[in-house]
């Protein structure tokens, strides 16, 4: 086979199918972005107008001026940040214990954290709602953040264990011989080494919490409504204005998509450990 | 305290915060669900709730909508996971070949999986729109249909339309997982096979497939559990309609609680669903435990 034929074959059998798959994967999202910058006149005609007749920021302006979207956006930011802080502050010590100690009940707890990650949301959400109502935590940041720890904690623990396991125990022991206490060892030796893993886990928890809909819908109200729930409510409120909804969708999806692309390579390791939730 | 005991208690003190929160948000709710499922608890009249034994479960067996939802769930999970797997496997095999923009392709294929379910529901509802939707436009231009189809409001098409959306959302997960598996297959195996004169297909069948079978099985089990549990995209796109056409088990349980406020009956539904899934969870956990040991 000549070099020319080889190139042609690769184009036809590999690059073209990859291109088709990518178009399938990306087109719906690109369509959302295009819709968000099209004038309303373009959105109500059929046959469909694919390329905008002009690019407009009208939908974004309307979101800013006429809706609560940006305060919802800030709510989501606060909730997702809170979920990261709560999730990691309890998961780092737990993952460290699983990785470094042998203790009675270790496997049981470890399996437990795996199993609870598989529980259906509907199983937990009903009693959680009743509980939060009793505690007066409905429509508070704390309420939603705690709701999100149902997935952030088990996920973070499993993810972090694999990062801790990758650090040789010899390093801990060397530090102890040098006279460091257990906490000093963790703070000065182990944590700096697993920082990339902690960041990856933090970003993934952030994304999951930011994207989450069901807990947010059940546990929030007018005061702390996150952006996913708000957008869904706009559908009823504004007799389906696709431009406005798409603009909102773009502002919700873009930041997390970029974050996701940033961590995806390092995520695969944790993925194959099976800890990631959809 | 003796130093020995302190040493023994140390790991538990590290675990305590995680266990405490998990106890409140997961273990307690699970027990509450068990309790709710044997009561006629209705949210707006909590004081009238009383123990009714297994009546919720008896009611459930005679509930036509339960059986509709269950059969939908079975078809739903099997077909979605199957299509996700096939598409993901195909994508992974292609992305494992070498071409100059492979890195970019690998990064971008993952986008659907990163998007929030509300946005996914929104995008696809817009694509499927009867009056100005792009799917009708494309199919009309290609002369595949004669007139626009109301994809989400016909019982015959709405179920398949939502399935396509979920396949789209989930296939990147399979692609990424299987790709990770493919990268661990030793090149020598392929060389040996080639020397023995194996065709490309036989190489795939005898070398590639056995090497990635484990990771595929793990991915399938995980995906079954997630797809079976997922309800947010259906909720956003059709809310279960038209009629009961897109009801699945978790959606039905959720709607009984959220719209009808019948928390007792909804808890029974959620519980039945969990028990049905436990077998899959068990298989998955056993696989993971093996890897751990």
Count how many domains chain A has.
2
Chain A residues whose CB is inside 8 A of the B285 CB are 111, 114-115
The better pLDDT of the pair A177, B2 is held by A177
Domain-located, residue A46: no
Q: Are residues A103 and A26 in the same domain?
A: no
Looking at residue B183, what is its pLDDT?
83
Q: Are residues A174 and A252 in the same domain?
A: yes
Contact B114 A44 (CB under 8 A): no
Q: Which of B11, B103, B269 to mutate to test the interface with A (most CBs of A within 10 A)?
A: B11
The better pLDDT of the pair A171, B89 is held by B89
Res. B184 pLDDT band, cuts 50 70 90: confident
B183 reaches A (C-beta below 8 A): no
Res. B60 pLDDT band, cuts 50 70 90: confident
Residue B39's beta-bridge partner residues?
A: B51
The better pLDDT of the pair A273, B279 is held by B279
Count how many domains chain B has.
1
Gyration radius (Cα) of chain A, Å: 24
Res. A167 pLDDT band, cuts 50 70 90: confident
Q: Answer yes or no: is pLDDT of A119 > 70.
A: yes
Q: Are residues A245 and A160 in the same domain?
A: yes
Contact A131 B29 (CB under 8 A): yes
Contact A122 B26 (CB under 8 A): no
The better pLDDT of the pair A176, A33 is held by A33
**B-proximal residues of A, 13-72, CB under 8 Å:** 14-15, 17-18, 21-22, 24-26, 28-29, 31-32, 35, 43-48
Q: Answer yes or no: is pLDDT of A274 > 50.
A: no
Looking at residue B291, what is its pLDDT?
65
Structure tokens at A51: 């390329």
Q: Give the pLDDT confidence of A45-104 residue by residue, as tens digits.
A: 888 888 888 888 888 998 888 888 899 999 999 999 999 999 999 999 999 999 888 888
Q: Are residues A19 and A121 in the same domain?
A: no
Q: Answer yes or no: is pLDDT of B124 > 70.
A: yes
Q: Which of A47, A123, A142, A247 to mutate to test the interface with B (most CBs of B within 10 A)?
A: A123
Mean pLDDT for chain B overall: 87
Domain-located, residue B102: no
Looking at residue A189, what is its pLDDT?
85
Looking at residue B92, what is its pLDDT?
92
Can you tell me the distance from the alpha carbon of A87 to that of B125, in angstroms, rounded to the nearest whole number? Answer: 34
B209 reaches A (C-beta below 8 A): no
Contact A150 B270 (CB under 8 A): no
ipTM summary value: 0.86
Query: How is residue A47 annotated by DSSP?
Result: S
Q: Give the pLDDT confidence of B86-103 residue by residue, as tens digits.
A: 999 999 999 988 888 888
Domain-located, residue A10: yes
Looking at residue A277, what is its pLDDT?
42
Res. A169 pLDDT band, cuts 50 70 90: confident
Per-residue pLDDT, averaged over B141-168, amounts to 91
Can you tell me the distance from the alpha carbon of A32 to that of B120, in angstroms, rounded to the nearest whole number? Answer: 10
User: Measuring CA to CA, which residue among A2, A118, A167 is closest to residue B288?
Assistant: A118
Can you tell me the distance from the alpha carbon of B88 to that of B225, in angstroms, rounded to the nearest whole number? Answer: 17
Q: Which domain holds residue B85?
A: 41-97+110-292
pTM of the model: 0.88
Domain-located, residue A112: yes
Looking at residue A196, what is its pLDDT?
85
| C-beta of residue B252 within 8 angstroms of C-beta of residue B66 | yes
User: Measuring CA to CA, which residue among A196, A249, A266 is closest to residue B107?
Assistant: A266
Domain-located, residue A83: yes
Domain-located, residue B14: no
Q: Which domain holds residue A225?
A: 60-272
Q: Give the nearest partner residue to A213 out of B8, B116, B222, using CB atoms.
A: B116
Looking at residue A276, what is its pLDDT?
45
| C-beta of residue B94 within 8 angstroms of C-beta of residue A10 | no
CATH of the domain at B283: 1.10.3720.10
Number of H helices, E strands in chain B: 15, 0
Domain-located, residue B186: yes
* Buried/exposed code over A143-177 (b: 16+ C-beta within 10 A; e: otherwise): bbbbbbbbbbbbbbbbbbbbbbbebeeeebeebee
Domain-located, residue B189: yes
The better pLDDT of the pair A30, B98 is held by A30
Structure tokens at B82: 């199957």
Chain B residues whose CB is inside 8 A of the A103 CB are 8, 11-12
Shortest Cα distance, chain A CAs vs residue B69, angstroms: 15
| C-beta of residue A76 within 8 angstroms of C-beta of residue A226 | yes
Looking at residue B4, what is its pLDDT?
65
Mean pLDDT for chain A overall: 86
The number of CA neighbours under 13 Å toward the Cβ of B199 is 2
Looking at residue B48, what is its pLDDT?
73
Q: Give the nearest partner residue to A271 out of B22, B87, B177, using CB atoms.
A: B177
A106 reaches B (C-beta below 8 A): yes
Looking at residue A271, what is its pLDDT?
58
Res. A239 pLDDT band, cuts 50 70 90: low
Domain-located, residue B203: yes
Domain-located, residue B8: no
Per-residue pLDDT, averaged over A162-185, amounts to 84
Max Cα-Cα span within chain A: 75
Chain A residues whose CB is inside 8 A of the B10 CB are 97, 101, 182
Structure tokens at B137: 């436009």
Domain-located, residue A278: no
Q: Which of B8, B41, B56, B111 to mutate to test the interface with A (most CBs of A within 10 A)?
A: B111
Can you tell me the distance from the alpha carbon of A54 to that of B201, in angstroms, rounded to the nearest whole number? Answer: 50
Q: Are residues A142 and A24 in the same domain?
A: no
* Buried/exposed code over B64-73 (b: 16+ C-beta within 10 A; e: otherwise): eebebbbebb
**A-proximal residues of B, 8-67, CB under 8 Å:** 8, 10-12, 14-15, 17-19, 21-22, 24-30, 32-33, 36, 43
Shortest Cα distance, chain B CAs vs residue A155, angstroms: 12
B205 reaches A (C-beta below 8 A): no
Shortest Cα distance, chain A CAs vs residue B277, angstroms: 9
Weakest-pLDDT range from A109-118, A138-147, A186-195, B45-54: B45-54
Q: Give the pLDDT confidence of B203-249 residue by residue, as tens digits.
A: 888 888 888 888 888 889 888 988 998 899 999 898 888 889 999 99
Domain-located, residue A44: no
A278 reaches B (C-beta below 8 A): yes
| C-beta of residue B25 within 8 angstroms of C-beta of residue A146 | yes
Percent above pLDDT 70 for chain B: 98
Structure tokens at B58: 């008896």
Q: Are residues A29 and A117 in the same domain?
A: no
Looking at residue B116, what is its pLDDT?
92
Q: Answer yes or no: is pLDDT of A278 > 50.
A: no
Number of H helices, E strands in chain A: 14, 0
Domain-located, residue B29: no
Q: Are residues A115 and A251 in the same domain?
A: yes
Looking at residue A268, what is its pLDDT?
66
Domain-located, residue B90: yes
CATH of the domain at A250: 1.10.3720.10
């Amino acid at each position: 086979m000549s070099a020319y034929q080889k190139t042609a074959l690769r184009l036809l059998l590999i690059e073209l199918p990859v291109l088709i798959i990518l178009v399938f994967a990306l087109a719906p999202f690109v369509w959302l972005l295009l819709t968000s910058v099209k004038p309303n006149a373009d959105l109500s005609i059929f046959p469909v107008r694919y390329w905008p007749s002009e690019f407009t920021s009208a939908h974004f302006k309307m979101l800013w001026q006429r809706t609560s979207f940006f305060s919802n956006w800030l709510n989501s930011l606060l909730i997702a940040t809170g979920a990261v802080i709560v999730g990691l502050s309890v998961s780092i010590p737990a993952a460290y214990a699983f990785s470094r100690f042998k203790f009675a009940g270790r496997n049981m707890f470890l399996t437990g954290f795996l199993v609870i990650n598989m529980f259906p949301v509907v199983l937990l959400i009903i009693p959680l709602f009743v509980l939060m109502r009793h505690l007066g935590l409905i429509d508070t940041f704390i309420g939603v953040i705690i709701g999100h720890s149902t997935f952030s904690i088990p996920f973070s623990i499993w993810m972090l264990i694999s990062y801790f396991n990758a650090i040789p125990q010899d390093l801990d022991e060397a530090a102890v011989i040098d006279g460091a206490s257990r906490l000093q060892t963790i703070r000065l030796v182990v944590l700096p080494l697993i920082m990339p893993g902690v960041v990856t886990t933090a970003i993934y928890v952030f994304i999951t919490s930011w994207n989450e809909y069901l807990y947010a819908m059940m546990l929030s109200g007018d005061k702390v409504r996150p952006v996913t729930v708000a957008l869904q409510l706009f559908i009823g409120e504004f007799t389906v204005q696709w431009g406005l909804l798409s603009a909102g969708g773009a502002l919700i999806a873009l930041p997390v998509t970029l974050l996701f692309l940033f961590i995806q390579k390092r995520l695969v390791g944790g993925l194959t450990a099976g800890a990631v939730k959809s | 305290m003796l130093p020995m005991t302190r040493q023994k208690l140390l790991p538990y003190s590290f675990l305590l915060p995680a266990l405490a929160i998990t106890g409140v948000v997961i273990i307690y709710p699970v027990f509450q669900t068990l309790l709710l499922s044997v009561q006629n608890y209705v949210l707006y009249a909590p004081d009238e709730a009383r123990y009714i034994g297994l009546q919720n479960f008896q009611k459930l067996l005679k509930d036509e909508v339960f059986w509709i939802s269950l059969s939908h769930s079975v078809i739903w999970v099997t077909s979605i996971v199957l299509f996700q797997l096939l598409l993901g496997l195909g994508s992974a095999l292609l992305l494992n070949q070498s071409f100059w923009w492979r890195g970019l392709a690998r990064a971008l294929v993952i986008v659907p999986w990163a998007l929030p379910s509300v946005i996914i529901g929104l995008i696809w509802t817009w694509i499927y729109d009867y009056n100005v939707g792009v799917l009708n436009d494309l199919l009309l231009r290609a002369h595949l249909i004669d007139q626009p189809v109301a994809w989400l409001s016909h019982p015959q098409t709405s179920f398949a339309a939502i399935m396509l959306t979920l396949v789209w959302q989930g296939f990147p997960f399979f692609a990424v997982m299987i790709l990770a598996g493919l990268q661990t297959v030793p090149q020598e195996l392929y060389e040996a096979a080639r020397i023995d004169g194996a065709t490309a297909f036989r190489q795939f069948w005898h070398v590639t497939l056995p090497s990635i079978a484990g990771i595929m099985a793990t991915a399938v089990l995980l995906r079954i559990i997630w797809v079976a549990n997922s309800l947010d995209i259906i909720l956003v796109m059709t809310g279960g309609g038209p009629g009961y056409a897109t009801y699945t088990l978790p959606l039905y349980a959720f709607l009984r609680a959220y719209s009808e406020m019948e928390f007792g009956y909804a808890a029974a539904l959620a519980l039945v669903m969990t028990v049905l899934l436990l077998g899959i969870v068990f298989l998955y956990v056993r696989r993971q435990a093996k890897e751990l040991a």
